[in-house]
Amino acid sequence: MMRRRDPAAPARAAGVLLALLALWPMAVLGEFRPWLLFEAQNLRVIGAFLGGFLPPASGHEFLGYLVQATLETLAIASAGIALAFVVAVPLAIATTQALSISRLGPGPGRRRGDLLRAGLRVLLVVLRGIPELVWALLFVRVFGLGPAAGVLALALTYGGMLAKVYAEILESGEQRPARALLEAGSSRLHALCYGLLPGCAQELTSYTVYRWECALRASVVMGFVGAGGLGQLLDQSMKMLNGGEAASILLTFLMLVLAADGCSSFLRRQLADAGSRQRALAVGPLALAGLVLLVGAVVASFVALDLGLGALLTRAAATSLGDFLVLFFPLDLSPGCLQKVAWGSLETLAISVLGSLLAAVGGALLALPASGRHGPALAQLTRLLLNTLRSVPELVWATLMALAAGLGPFAGILALALHTSGVLGRLFAEALQNAPPTPRDALVEAGAPAAAAFLYGTLPAVTPQLVAYALYRWEINIRMAAILGFVGAGGLGQLLYVELSLFHYAQASTLIAAMLLLSVIVDAASAWLRRRLG
């Protein structure tokens, strides 16, 4: 009888119980009430709305809007990444330690160099830490309406991200050639071009392509605050509960994301192949043609969007931007405001924790069939499901969930859980596939049932990786949770939206500061947990 029992069962049960107990206050705060979803009246409402999805809208006028919005979304993403690249390169060169002359040896400039780098790193944290949606909302105010706000928001957030990762890639590569060049007295630029780039170019390009794909998803989201593109169209249709239009837009969007996904992974595979063959990037006629095409696409994006960025460089624009920024200071630190912000922060934290946890559970459950444990047909099917889940951005899920679960934090939790399940499911499945099979096979051969063999043969080997993935997503989700409120899903975002609408800029900047602080705290907590568990 004892043979079949799980020997660690009491400890596991106690752990689960303890975790549930710790999560209880969060569940209360996040208004986590799943049973509400299945109330008769609620099911009727959702049913009616989903029923409205069919048939998808295909009116002549509407399709015209749809095509235009799709092109606009593509152009925003491309132009945004191009500008982000321009922002990121100098920042990456300035912050990376791989190109530091003062670090070569004891010298007078060491302290100054370190200080400068530290300062720039703080700037990068600010650029990345404020969600692109918040940047977009601010830019819509300063630079007027339309896609320019979206492009600039992407340029800043993605500029910050690219700069950080570029700097890290440069540091992780082979350091000796660049070091030798610097020691021999060459300039930083030469050391970069001839010492670092040959080794890192492939990884750098690959990451940039991946970010373009992310920017495409992000540019949809930014439409929700009036920065043009598909998001704006979707926001309108959802608000008016026009199911047919929403269905058409969602379908278009899914196809766009899947196409970008395919295109980006194809390009990255090509790059990896080229890298493994020759160590350096192969620049043949094909690559040149690609480059010309790329430049053409970026130029076309700028022309199509008619951004008028030149207007931003005038003195009038600078003063209006200055006037606008001044309004945000000093922060409102009155007790009333702080109390509101603290409450919003707790709600946001609860949304991110519960959303990520649900996603980890959902992802794990979906990863089992997706990893091919139950046959290839089921694996394909679950993979399709996972792709769909993660192709729809959190904010879009949130608008759908606000309808299903009512306005408030619970909609945010569900939105994060759905999108992140898609992401984690895929990562988990890959981890399971890559797990060494021998321990499990040994257990199965020794007569252990399949479940026990999985629990003791496969799971221990992959658990640290799974936990690390989940924690990484938590870091992303805290940023997301902060903005889901823009569509009525509770937390800091809802407060920020109202304060910005009422021109209460001092309160708005307190909220933005709280978002930054929260994301820094969660980053630190997640890093600490990963170190402890890893």
Partner 1 sequence: MLHCTRRLALTGALVCALAISFLHPAAAAEAVLRVSAIPDEAPTELQRKFAPLGQYLEKELGMKVSFVPVSDYAAVVEALASDKLDLAWLGGFTFVQANIRSKGTAIPLVQREQDARFTSKFITADPTIKTLADTRGKVFAFGSPSSTSGHLMPRYFLMAAGIDPDVDFKKVAFSGAHDATVAFVAAGRADAGVLNASVWEKLVEEKKVDAKVRVFATTPPYFDYNWTVRGNLDPALIKKIAAAFLKLDAANPEHAEILALQRASKFIPTSKENYLGIEQAAKAAGLLK
Q: Which residues bind partner 1 (CB under 8 A)?
A: 41-42, 45, 48-49, 65, 82, 86, 137, 140-142, 144-146, 225-226, 232, 235-236, 239-241, 283, 288, 291-292, 295, 298-299, 302-303, 306-311, 313-314, 320, 402-403, 406-408, 488, 497-498, 500-504
Residues 6+ apart with CB under 8 A from 103: 97, 110, 113
Residues 6+ apart with CB under 8 A from 432: 367, 368, 371, 373, 458, 462
CB atoms within 10 A of CB 105: 8
Q: Which residues of 64-83 are buried (b: 16+ CB within 10 A; e: fewer)?
A: ebbeebbbbbbbbbbbbbbb
Least gap, CB of 402 to partner 1 (angstroms): 8
Least gap, CB of 124 to partner 1 (angstroms): 23
The nearer residue to partner 1, 24 or 503, going by C-beta atoms, is 503
The nearer residue to partner 1, 407 or 525, going by C-beta atoms, is 407
The nearer residue to partner 1, 258 or 291, going by C-beta atoms, is 291
The nearer residue to partner 1, 245 or 475, going by C-beta atoms, is 245
Least gap, CB of 62 to partner 1 (angstroms): 9
CA 186/CA 228 separation, integer angstroms: 46
Least gap, CB of 265 to partner 1 (angstroms): 25
The nearer residue to partner 1, 25 or 308, going by C-beta atoms, is 308
The nearer residue to partner 1, 42 or 270, going by C-beta atoms, is 42
The nearer residue to partner 1, 139 or 428, going by C-beta atoms, is 139
For residue 500, the 8-state DSSP code is H
Least gap, CB of 346 to partner 1 (angstroms): 17
- CB contact at 8 A, 473 and 356: yes
CA 301 to chain centre: 23
Cα–Cα distance list, 293 to 280, 341, 493 (Å): 21, 48, 39
The nearer residue to partner 1, 125 or 309, going by C-beta atoms, is 309
Least gap, CB of 78 to partner 1 (angstroms): 12
Least gap, CB of 289 to partner 1 (angstroms): 10
3-state DSSP call for residue 24? Answer: helix
Query: What is the token pair recorded at 29?
Result: 């705060």
- CB contact at 8 A, 403 and 46: yes
Query: What is the token pair recorded at 363?
Result: 């992802």
Least gap, CB of 60 to partner 1 (angstroms): 14
Query: What is the token pair recorded at 420?
Result: 């992140």
Of 196, 189, 188, 203, residue with least CA distance to 171: 196
Terminal-residue alpha carbon distance, the chain: 35
The nearer residue to partner 1, 503 or 528, going by C-beta atoms, is 503
Least gap, CB of 294 to partner 1 (angstroms): 8
